[in-house]
Amino acid sequence: MPRFAPLPDSLPQTVPFIGPETLERRRGAPFAARLGANESAFGPSPLAARAMREAVGGIWKYGDAPGHDLTHALAAHLGVAPANIMLGEGIDGLLGTLVRLMVAPGDAVVTSDGAYPTFNYHVTGFGGVLHKVPYRDDAEDPQALLQAAHRTGARLIYLANPDNPMGSWHKGAVIAAMLDDLPPDGLLVLDEAYAEFAPAEAIPEIDPADPRVIRMRTFSKAYGLAGARIGYAVGAPDLIAGFDRIRNHFGVNRIAQAGALAALADPGWLAHVVASVTAARDRIAAIGAESGLTALPSATNFVALDTHRDGAFARALVAALEAEDVFVRMPGVAPLDRCIRISCAPDPELDVLAQALPRALATAASSS
């Protein structure tokens, strides 16, 4: 076959995550409890579901490339100008476009070791050079990120607040203060995928026209539209306009736009989901405590349970839970990998977890 270009040819055949459907095909059975992908098992707003059904008949048409109606609704919701908003195929799609826009081969990029791997996937795929700093006290370390950024001259500095995979968060004032200590030509990439679940004090007050930061949010989590693949970036107009040079202009389809617009207009459903997630976090913590595991504080729709063992034990526990028909994930690097990460879900799925966890712990202990 024809040769790949040199950069992709040099990369391993890998993906950031193995999806639950792939695991189900491998094991030949569905999961009884899907608790690993940080989706919203509480579902989308009924208004969003209806809007998407009604949009199906128009799917023969391409989506509105600028997403005019949704962009303007988001601008009004956030108190920014439409020129501050860019829609994309979820945060994953927006991160890929941002890296392509800002990172040339050989450019330095700083992130935390163990943070969201899809960002790393994009950086590597476009030839950037990743520099990683460790977590501190199970949270991303803003000062260490800044120090590494100055040491390397980083173009991008990635920080999720709240954080995945640990669920931790920093106060907004800490994040805002980072902007005054960025290296020249450095851009803070602030991933706020879980912002709707976070306390108000975790959301920084930043001028939307500030060119030193780009904020990314999604309809995948609290709004329950993960399968629709739709998110948005908030940034300075000149930075946002840069996306139009290289983005997939018709990447966000009509059904996704209709669903997101309706979801945004249903704050009652959002409040219901946030309350349900809060209750589920408490129950996951209780289920873990009954088996000797400790829940770390979380401002997300998942809980990291500390096994008080090591990564080998946690991996054995994840495998044992899979054998019990429960899908969960875990952080990938030490010392974070002593934990397992469990997504919030309605009680029937958590009932399955409550029954399966003691058995899985026994299995993991016998294999370690």
Lowest mean pLDDT among 14-18, 144-148, 363-367: 14-18
Provide the whole-model pTM: 0.96
pLDDT in tens, 92-115: 999 999 999 999 999 999 999 999
Is 303 within 8 Å of 342 (Cβ atoms)? Answer: yes
Report the distance separating Cα 231 and Cα 218, nearest Å.
4
Domains 6-43+268-367 and 60-265 share a fold: no
For 57-80, how does the pLDDT look when each residue is reduced to its tens digit (9 = 90+)? 999 999 999 999 999 999 999 999
- Cα separation, 165 vs 293, in Å, equals 17
Burial group, residue 269, by CB count within 10 angstroms (0-12, 13-18, 19+)? buried
173 contacts 200 by C-beta, under 8 angstroms: no
- Contact assessment for residue 118 and residue 259, using Cβ atoms and an 8 Å cutoff: no
Residue 265: pLDDT band by 50, 70, 90 thresholds?
A: very high
Q: Does the structure show a pLDDT above 80 at 368?
A: no
Question: Which tokens in the block code for residue 136?
Answer: 């501190």
CA distance 158 to 139: 13
pLDDT of residue 15: 87
Domain 6-43+268-367 has CATH 3.90.1150.10: yes
Average pLDDT value for residue range 328-334? 97
**How many CA atoms lie within 13 Å of 139's alpha carbon, on the beta-carbon side?**
15
Sort strands 213-218 and 187-191 into parallel, antiparallel or unpaired: parallel
Question: Average pLDDT of 270-289?
Answer: 98
In percent, the amount of the chain with pLDDT more than 70 equals 100
The pLDDT value given to residue 14: 85
What is the tens place of the pLDDT at every residue in 23-38?
A: 999 999 999 999 999 9
Kindly state the average pLDDT of the residues 313-319. 98
Distance (Å, whole) CA 347 – CA 277:
11
Q: What is the pLDDT of residue 181?
A: 97
What's the number of CA atoms in the CB half-sphere (13 Å) around residue 143?
Answer: 1
**Average pLDDT of the chain?**
97
Q: For residue range 218-229, list pLDDT tens digits in order.
A: 999 999 999 999
| Residues 177-191: b if buried by 16+ CB within 10 A, e if exposed | ebbeebbeebbbbbb
Kindly state the average pLDDT of the residues 33-58.
Answer: 98
Examine the pLDDT at 19 and tell me if it is beyond 90.
yes
Domain locations in the chain?
6-43+268-367, 60-265
- Tokens 């309706």 locate to 262
Task: Output b/e per residue, 51-73; b: 16+ Cβ within 10 A.
Answer: bbeebeeeeeeebbebbeebbeb
Report whether CATH 3.40.640.10 matches the domain 60-265: yes
Position 299 pLDDT exceeds 80: yes
Q: What are phi and psi of 364, to 5 degrees?
A: -65, -40
